[in-house]
Amino acid sequence: MRGTRVRLLAVSLAVLLVLCVLSLAIGTRFVPPNDVLPALFGHGAGDIEALIWGVRLPRTLLALLVGAALGLAGAVMQALTRNPLGDPGLLGISAGAAFGIVVAVAALGVTSLYGYLGAAFVGAAIASAVVYVLGSAGRGGATPVKLALAGVAITALLTSLTSGLTLVYPEALNRYRFWAAGSLAGQDSGVVVRALPFLLVGIVLALAMAGALNSLSLGDDVAVALGRRVRLVRVQGVVAITLLTGVAVAVVGPIVFLGLVVPHVARAVTGPDQRWLMPFAMVLAPVLLLAADIVGRVIARPGETEVGIVVAFVGAPFFIALVRRRRLAEL
């Protein structure tokens, strides 16, 4: 079984590498794949180098980072809440980021890209903290059900507040509509550099708790008997999900269904062991995100369709099929 997993992971990485080359080659102007590598190493034509380094390479790197972050966050969320329908947005992170951007534009007059990123991340962090405090109240502490219910409640509240502000402040609505579509376009290397430290911390925190999540899947009592500090594991999980999802959503907007779909695909390949599921999710999510981004550039040339819309077309049928399968299993 281990050998099979290693081979499948190697195949997934090879597919990801091919998609990276295609992402650098395909766009309004097509760059032949055999010209991509010379341009990356400074041996290509000047205009091709400028296109690759200035536009397509940051976009591709961003897709790799955001995809890995959302796939890993989805795996942690589903394991932490023991909910196969769990999504990184379940803790109110996406709604908090949206509310942060709208408040920054409407109340503070923020107009810079980095101002939007900071506001979105702060909003996401505050929302997840409030969800955890509410989910921890009462007997039993932060149980999966209480966290999920608190997340749904906070998401509904923040979504209503965001809608109200966008009706009053048209400039906030314009920015929110662009961000909410979910797009990798228009980002430079500076965004990648600023997002990278936060994402790396989130990745390290998430991967470090793989064994604890395996224990937690057996139930809280069994996890305690195995020496796990359940409350600390949940705090670490919430922090990791907030960092991974908050930064990713702040940069590219809410990419719906990515964190829901990919862990299920990885689980079908590796089984429930988080030590394998997490690395697979970190590879398969960028595969899906890059493929969707490339399709979005091709189907609407010379323009493009936002990657969030393309991923939604893939994720929505998968979500419906998953819900139907669970309902049939319960009958």
CB 91 within 8 A of CB 241: yes
CATH of domain 2-330: 1.10.3470.10
Q: What is residue 175's predicted lDDT score, i.e. its pLDDT?
A: 75
For the chain, the domains span 2-330
Distance CA 8, CA 10 (A): 5
| pLDDT tens per residue across span 35-52 | 888 878 777 667 788 888
What is the Cα 42 distance to its own chain's centre?
32
CA distances to 141, 239, 328 from 158, rounded to whole Å, are 24, 20, 33
Nearest C-alpha neighbor of 60 from the set 17, 11, 118: 17
Q: What is residue 280's predicted lDDT score, i.e. its pLDDT?
A: 95
Angle at CA of residue 47, ends 46 and 48, nearest 5°: 90
Q: What is residue 224's predicted lDDT score, i.e. its pLDDT?
A: 84
Cis peptide before 302 (omega within 30 of 0): yes
- In order, the DSSP letters of 238-301 are HHHHHHHHHHHHHHH---TTHHHHHHHHHHHHH-S-HHHHHHHHHHHHHHHHHHHHHHHHHHTT
Q: What is residue 331's predicted lDDT score, i.e. its pLDDT?
A: 41
Question: Residue 64: how many CB atoms within 10 A of its CB?
Answer: 22
Distance CA 97, CA 125 (A): 8
Question: In degrees to the nearest 10, what's the CA dihedral of 129, 177, 64, 5?
Answer: 70
Six-digit token string for 193: 């550099």
Regions of the chain where pLDDT drops below 50: 328-331
| pLDDT tens per residue across span 95-112 | 888 888 888 888 887 777
Q: Map tokens 């997490």 to a residue.
A: 278
